Chain A
């Protein structure tokens, strides 16, 4: 059953259409990535799901509760980390977490233990007594994350959870998100593409308020389709290579890139089906006793797919 189900969600600010008729479902155990350029509507969508903004049209249910009719129940079940993790800067870490725990209705007897667990999970031991205002960006982000997790929510909504962190912290946070995603449902937004490949089981690419593609990172590669690119460097001892390669049925174009040293010539082959083409090139080379010192197939990366899908209409 879908833990999050979104139907035709639409939001306009003045004359700008921020989110345009978005529909999707997320089930338990999924980590869904919102991918899109800045101002694509990711944050607005998250704000509607967390009941911060009301949609103009459409509806959404989280854990069976409607965001408009049952907003408090939705908010109880969701852990939300807003973009850039705003926090009460004048509080210290523990009293801030205690405040959130109290608002979240965590029994007083359990509060201490929950806070200790969050301090451990999010690596806050070194800053326990400090004022949040004095913390570095990375620690603030972790305090924000501790705040979203303290009530052990079924649904986590994280708006750019890794911004402002250093590379090792990013890896830690991603591991944490992946770990949490196993028993929960996570939606996270990002415009960092490797993050999606590293953490998400499914991706929604959003552009100009609309979903332009959806699927696993692998599926997206198939959707974006197009041609594979194969680089091959051949020493054919003077034999013409272009014509023989072009004769392979899946190849659409062959172009000579460089005259490399030692008689090797580098070609760029564009083909419809990469797997077979590379094999065919290898077979031809063997039949003709050509020497090969490079045969490299470049898959369409998420970057390419993203660019392709988000710039298609412009």
Chain B
């Protein structure tokens, strides 16, 4: 796993080699703060509940934008051939890229930490709930990243990678939604509600950290990273 490190460093630095990272961070921060704050003063409650409720939807578009180029660009430019003939295992390359995008996600999330500070200065929010909310964001974000990264490895077109990732993540997200659960046979309800990305987020972001939810997120991440390694191998 030693060589995941140079890949990680290169990928993380390359976010900042173009203005895209700064534009991204500004838009993300602006949009999520505005959506939160516009309701916050109306409701007049010192809680970040509405912020966390929005996160899965904001991530639905922002995370594929982080992952879309990670493999697609390498294929388009031809650097894939370079990368795959350096002494790096496929798993190292996948982990390196995943960690780079994960760090970028952590950076974007850390910039929103002004919001709990604002909330705490105006009232007395539940610190446990906010911590749980952020943990939920990190987990669901990492799961989205793993999915988006895998999808990026299937195409050399970044736009295709973006759209397919949005659709794919959305599909997995609504699996556990109520209106889907009403429409399927009773026997499948627990399965679907477990597989859906959304239900697990709700419980974690309420501040209830259940090992089942952690296992779920780690499994989703592991599963898609594994698929990613396999899809790289299959190209050889």
- A residues whose Cβ falls under 8 Å from a Cβ of B: 47, 50-54, 72, 75-76, 78, 80, 82, 84, 86-91, 95, 99-100, 102-105, 147
Contacts and interface: CB of A to CB of B under 8 A. Distances in A.
B67 to A, nearest CB: 17
A95 B13 CA distance: 10
26 contacts: A47-B81, A50-B85, A52-B81, A52-B85, A52-B236, A54-B236, A72-B89, A75-B85, A75-B86, A75-B87, A76-B87, A78-B85, A80-B85, A82-B81, A82-B82, A84-B78, A86-B81, A86-B82, A88-B79, A89-B77, A99-B6, A99-B9, A102-B6, A103-B7, A104-B87, A105-B87
Contact of B14 (A78, A84, A91, A105): A91
B127 interface: no
A88 B10 contact: yes
Contact of B82 (A53, A87, A102): A87
Contacts of B110: none
A75 B7 CA distance: 16
Contacts of A147: 82
Which of A78, A88, A100 has the most chain B CB atoms inside 10 A of its CB? A88
B120 interface: no
Contacts of A99: 6, 9-10
Contacts of B81: 47, 52, 82, 86
Contacts of A75: 85-87
A27 to B, nearest CB: 23
A82 B78 contact: yes
Contacts of B77: 86, 88-89
A103 B87 contact: yes
Interface SS of A by simple majority:
loop
Given A82-B85, A87-B82, 11 more contacts: A51-B84, A52-B85, A78-B85, A82-B82, A84-B78, A86-B80, A90-B14, A90-B18, A103-B3, A103-B6, A103-B86
Nearest to B84: A52
B58 to A, nearest CB: 27
Nearest to B236: A54
Contact of A91 (B3, B5, B10, B80): B10
A121 B58 CA distance: 50
A78 B82 CA distance: 12
Contacts of B86: 75, 100, 103-104
A161 to B, nearest CB: 15
B88 interface: yes
A275 B60 CA distance: 79
Q: Which 9 A-B pairs have the closest CB atoms?
A: A86-B78, A90-B17, A102-B6, A75-B87, A50-B85, A76-B87, A82-B81, A86-B79, A54-B236
A87 B18 CA distance: 16
A82 B7 CA distance: 20
A281 B13 CA distance: 74
Contacts of B14: 88, 90-91
Contacts of A47: 81
Contacts of A89: 77
Nearest to A54: B236
A53 B236 contact: yes
Contacts of B80: 86
A142 to B, nearest CB: 15
Interface in B11-39: 13-14, 17-18
Contacts of B18: 90
Which of B7, B79, B84, B86 has the most chain A CB atoms inside 10 A of its CB? B86
